[in-house]
Amino acid sequence: MADQHTSPRAIVDEDAALPTVADLYGELDEDRTTEVMTVNIGPHHPATHGVLRLVVDLEGEIVRDLKPVIGYVHTGIEKSCEDKSYWKVIPFVERMDYVSYFFQMEAYCGAVERLIGLEIPPRAKYLRTIFLELNRIHSHLVWLGTTALDLGAISMLWYCFRERDRILDLFEMATGQRMHTRYFQVGGVIEDIPLGWEERCRSFVHDMPIRVGQYEALLDRNEVFLQRTKGVGIVSRERLLELGVTGPLLRAAGEPWDLRKAFDYLAYPEMDFKIPVGTVGDNYDRYRVRVAEMVESTKIIGQALDALPGGPFIADDRKYVLPPRSELSTSMESLIHHFKLVTEGFRVDPGEIYYAIEGPRGELGCFVLADGSSKPARVHFRDPSFVNLQSFKDMAMDSYVADMICSLGMLDPILGGVDR
Amino acid sequence: MPDGPGLELLRGEIDLDLAGAVLDTSYAKERAVLIVDAGRVREVLTWLRDTPGQGYRFLSSLHVADYLPAEPRFGVHYEMLNRERVERLRVKAMLPAEGPEIDSVTDLFPTANFQEREAFDFFGVLFRGHPELTRILLPEDYVGWPQRRDFPVGGEPVTFTYSEERYG
């Protein structure tokens, strides 16, 4: 038996000189070092954060041209929405950008509410604000964990997903689902937060800035992380604006543009928070801006919990909002409304609207066209990932392949949102 | 958003420079809309972008809607944003049902590149002068314009039929 498993060490002459590159591959000619080679990366590749395919022209290790090819998870959600009544569209749109589902719901529900002129009660505005900001932290945690993983900081993934799990627990406690909660309704939210939820949320709000400090302690003095991110992937502010880029990417380049401050929606006008902006616009700034945004989001949640008004959590308009369950056994009127809403759904007068909110990746716009029936004639999402992806070529041009992967992580595209 | 009178003032200013380019205005749900001549949409967008005091320099979104059975049938929407005054303005160009074609604005607003490709992909609207007008989300060999209102939901043949054949 022993003879069959001769150790490889035994047949290597340890005194012999190691072969040189020229021995193994022959002399490298001058041309070979400058040859441009087209390489396909993806669509199934762990570093592309989803089903993204990149066709890259490489000169050695330097990226000379790049083309993102998308559409691999296109599921025709916008078309399917046209075949559903307004309230049944909500679970569909949540599944576009699958880590910022509350934002999709808000964009869609807000658009429909503005189309029918339905005012939502103050408590619903505050609850929506709280859930949106929790979702923003959740989305940034997924981004931070996976991007740090790309750069070799594996432990960051576990720490980020630990805190993400606390957010998902909060979602589950309030809505019954961890993801794709279908919590927002046209007119408000579907039910009030349960007893004890506020306390758990406050404890999370208390812990989160400490956790963010720990993340920074892990990354901010990490020489590898700093060298990989500082001065890499710089795109100027003007170019980003031309390309329609919004959100943390634009703010990292020094443009303080945030729809939460610019436009008046939900409870944001009453909140006191800052917009973090960068100076250089490199990958390090993108990281700093998002991390600072997480802290600002916890401030918003804390303030919203303090100022959470009482009263109803959904509008009391029986033409659009389901009547309370308790009325169904006593009131014929309520039963008829319930039946009409569940079977046909509500009708919306002809009109069209574009409503945009600040998502975790930038301007998330929803266009709804109503033709007077109970189904929308068109639902279109202006997804920030889709538009921001156009700036990827500028970020990765003339950098190393490894830096391209870093830039892609910092761009933070969610391919479900890109392809819809 | 410009309010109703503000929209009319804006239209008056555009009419001074580009007579006849704006066909109509509409103001509803606190949203201002300029309906422009499809052949002159580039002139209007350039005017809105470059005229001092206007500054609609940011194209937030470009999308198409199908107004079947109306004629002209397709509407190309340009959601313009003035970030200094925090105002949105929608510029809309209507296109006929047969051979919808409009000038591309990718050189004025590079962000329109993907969005025009998406509009072409789903509605078959041709953008003249686009650098690379190919399908973006659907496969290259796909036939048809699935977001049109007369394209049926479920009009797609099922490729994988194993279960159906085996279990009926």
- Read off the CATH number of the domain in which A172 is found: 1.10.645.10
Q: Which of B30, B61, B136 minimises the CB distance to A382? A: B61
Ranking A30-39, A352-361, B21-30, B59-68 by mean pLDDT, the lowest is A30-39
Mean pLDDT of A44-68: 86
Question: A353 vs B31: CB contact, 8 Å cut-off?
Answer: yes
Domain count, chain A: 1
Based on C-alpha coordinates, what's the Rg of chain B?
19
Amino acid (one-letter) located at B154 = G
Strands of the A62-69 sheet, one edge to the other: A36-41, A53-59, A62-69
- Please check the confidence at residue A353 and state whether its pLDDT lies above 80: yes
- Please check the confidence at residue A406 and state whether its pLDDT lies above 80: yes
pLDDT band at A128 (very low <50, low <70, confident <90, very high): very high
Look up the ipTM and state it: 0.89
Q: Which of A117, A243, A262 minimises the CB distance to B111? A: A243
Instruction: Return the axis-axis angle of helices A197-219 and A154-175, rounded to nearest 10°.
Output: 170
Ranking A53-67, A336-350, B29-43, B148-162 by mean pLDDT, the lowest is B148-162
User: Shortest Cα distance from B99 to chain A (angstroms)?
Assistant: 21
DSSP structure class, residue B48: H
**pLDDT digit string (tens) for B108-144?**
999 999 999 999 999 999 999 999 899 999 988 888 8
User: Which residues, listed in sequence order, are joined to residue A380 by a DSSP beta bridge?
Assistant: A367
The overall average pLDDT reported for chain A is 88
Q: Which of B31, B61, B151 minimises the CB distance to A365? A: B61
Which uninterrupted H or E stretch holds A34?
Answer: helix A30-34
pLDDT (0 to 100) of residue A110:
93
Selection from A120, A10, A276, A237 nearest residue B83 by Cα: A237
Residues with Cβ within 8 Å of A317's Cβ and at least 6 positions away in sequence, in order, are A118, A187
**Owning domain of residue A392:** 77-419
Residue A177 domain-assigned (yes or no): yes
Tell which of A53, A236, A243, A380 to mutate to test the B interface (max B CBs under 10 Å).
A380
How many degrees, rounded to 5, is the angle at CA A297 between CA A302 and CA A194?
50
pLDDT (0 to 100) of residue A6:
45
Cα separation, B105 vs B111, in Å, equals 9
pLDDT (0 to 100) of residue A55:
92
- Please check the confidence at residue A164 and state whether its pLDDT lies above 90: yes
pLDDT band at A290 (very low <50, low <70, confident <90, very high): very high
| DSSP E strand stretches across A113-257 | 184-185, 188-189
Residue A17 domain-assigned (yes or no): no
Q: Which of B57, B109, B153 minimises the CB distance to A83? A: B153
Nearest chain A residue to B63, by CA: A380
CA-to-CA separations, A83 to A79, A92, A376, B149, in angstroms, rounded:
7, 11, 8, 11
CA-to-CA separations, B108 to A337, A368, B104, B132, in angstroms, rounded:
50, 26, 9, 15
State in Å, rounded, how far the first CA of chain A is from the last one.
60
Question: B137 vs A387: CB contact, 8 Å cut-off?
Answer: no
pLDDT band at A368 (very low <50, low <70, confident <90, very high): very high
Mean pLDDT of A373-381: 92
CA-to-CA separations, A152 to A145, A222, A225, A344, A405, in angstroms, rounded:
11, 11, 9, 53, 12
Residue A272 domain-assigned (yes or no): yes
Residue A141 domain-assigned (yes or no): yes
CATH fold for domain B4-167: Beta Polymerase; domain 2 (3.30.460)
**pLDDT digit string (tens) for A228-283?**
888 888 899 999 999 999 999 999 998 899 999 888 888 899 999 999 999 988 89
Predicted TM-score (pTM) of the model is: 0.88
Cα separation, A203 vs A302, in Å, equals 10
Question: A353 vs B29: CB contact, 8 Å cut-off?
Answer: yes
The answer to whether B20 and B51 are in contact (CB under 8 A) is no
Provide the 10 A C-beta neighbour count for residue A337: 20
